[in-house]
Chain A
Amino acid sequence: MFYDLGVRAFQRGVLEVAKRFGYAGIAVLLRDEDAEVLLKDAVTRERGVFYGVEIFADSISEMKDKVRAFSGKVDVLAVHSRKDEKFNRAVLSDFRVDMLTKAVEAELSAVCVRYAAENAVALEFNMDAIFKQRRKERATALSRFREMLTLVRKFKAMVVLTSNALSPYDLRAPREMLALSSLFGMNTAEAKAALSEIPEGILNKRWKREREKGVEILTVEELEEQKEQEEQEEPKEQKKE
């Protein structure tokens, strides 16, 4: 099942085209200024349409206030990135944030990507930078995507592929998105995860729910290591006695 978490404007035709293309759902990201009013009006929720907020902030404190205001009230909580290392680090350190939008334009450092991986904040790869632009702008965008991908692979951060659609004609089918992602070196498995598993996990709050409850998730290898460490500590304690 495929999801597009980056639809910026909602018109009736968008959902029809998305269903025709094979998407299970789309997430409409509203600007934070318009979100409160529009979320109240969105009483009749159509099946397959999720609502999110994209926060635009000039400072870290403003961003924190807005995150606190919208946290838990929307399906997707996204923050628009800036070319400011401190701001991006603050966003990526906050586990309440689901997604950092236009991550590639922000030119994130390795530290930021590591924070994103640790706090389960997804990085948005907006594919309209490839299909709407031409020549030098497109070449620059492709090289930035390629660089970001190396960091994402190193730190195992989450990536979401979006179309940044402003109209029904800006949407692209999932197979076309996979093909576009292969242009900058993403393999099929990574691209499929970025279109299906990761967006689905964000909408279900899979990673956030576990953090909020205070549960530590261990893999099988980590469990075995812990057991070995406990077994090693037990004989030492017996010797001391």
Chain B
Amino acid sequence: MVRNNPFNWIFLILSSLVLLFILAPLAGMFLDTTSVEFMETVKDRDVQESIWLTLWVSFAATFLFALGAIPLAWLLARKQFPFKNIVQGIIDLPVVLPHTAAGIAILGFISRDGALGKAADTLGLTLINNPAGIALAMAFVSIPFLINSARDGFAAVPERLEKAALTLGASRSRVFFTISMPLAWRSIVTGFIMMFARGMSEFGAVVIVAYHPMIAPVLIYERFSSFGLKSARPASVLFIIVALAVFILLRFISLRKKETYLTPDAQAQ
């Protein structure tokens, strides 16, 4: 596979070092966790609840925000409008912000003095220390992954397929649901999974908005700061295993669909 020349060997060694850098700490953590510790953590109700909370809140946040993110992605892929670059910049903003700063911003927005907080208050709902607040914090930091991936997916759908559907009598919405969405499906699902995974692993923004109820990353931090590394390790291992299992399962279920072949758009005549 790798031919015997120095260039290939140097690249192979450098690549291996990077992979080792990712895998070694994880492997160390797994190896340092005894099966007894691990089984105790599995049975720990607080750990179970926090992992379950993390999973469903992140999924719900991704699902709800996808309803707006997918149309936005389509607009970015298909339409030209004033300040489009600025809109694209705004979308990428959460990726570059320090997540604690993002948490502070969200907190200001959902506290009783903030716009959304006030609105929720009138409905008798408190967003701080509530799964709804956690969902907002998760979505804030992870939504660029969905928008950008879906936008790339829509942009890769040849526009003439949408035009062809229009000439066959389809309405704009029918074209969207029968042509654009199915053909961009892989990218949308990839973005969905990335947003879900990113939301699930969020700590900085969530911890400011809601220390309780505890999502898994907050629980791991709390165990570490209160009881030390030995106590935090089994919870981390369990969370990683569950997250990986869900991640693999989602990818498997959603991408089982037949590969769709897209040909690039014909050059404008």
A binds B: no
Instruction: Give chain A's interface residues, CB within 8 Å of chain B.
Output: none
